[in-house]
Structure 1
Amino acid sequence: MRRTTVHLPDDLKAALQRTAAGQGRSEAELIREGVRLVTERHATPEPRLPLFESGDGALAEEVDKALAE
């Protein structure tokens, strides 16, 4: 785990302290939970890998030519 400094306004720091004390949890634990929730909510999906190689595209042109004949 890595240490990070977070700057909070006084009212948010006080709310964090009250919540941590009320739940018997550390402030760091609540901050980690909050960061996890936000990052999961706004996560971008992993790019999907193609199921097969699409080649160079010449096949479609060849099909068009064959159908035109």
Structure 2
Amino acid sequence: MSMKRTNVYADADDLALIKEAAKRRGRSEAEIIREGIHLAALSYRVWDDPDEWPKVSGGGEPVTKEEVRRAVADGQC
């Protein structure tokens, strides 16, 4: 993925939280900011054509907590 440089204004308190999180998790501040931008971009995405909508497989039956736990434990999620 190619990246482009941009400048944004951010609240000082938010930047302090990012700095703290980066230090605690051993990641760069830039990495955390890029992840935040990506999540924001995805949350505002709009699919105009129903064929572009994300597809979910399954029969439409509700799943139990145990089925979810098992799928997570087996690495299926």
TM-score when scaled to structure 1? 0.60
Unaligned stretches of 5+ residues in structure 2 = 52-77
Write the deviation string for residues 13-43 of structure 1: whole angstroms up to 9, x where unpaired: 1111001111111111111111111111220
SS in 2 for 1:43: coil
Amino acid in the other structure paired with 2:17: A
Identity %: 37
State the match for 2:19 in structure 1.
17
Structure of greater Rg: 1
How far residue 46 of structure 1 moved from its aligned partner, in angstroms, is 4.7
How far residue 48 of structure 1 moved from its aligned partner, in angstroms, is 6.0
Among 34, 37, 42, which residue is 1:35 paired with?
Answer: 37
What CA RMSD, in Å, does the superposition of the two structures yield over aligned residues?
A: 1.7
More helix per residue: 1
Structure 1 runs of 4+ aligned residues shifted over 4 Å read none
State the match for 2:65 in structure 1.
none
Q: 2-side partners of 1:7 and 1:41: how far apart?
A: 20
Aligned length: 49
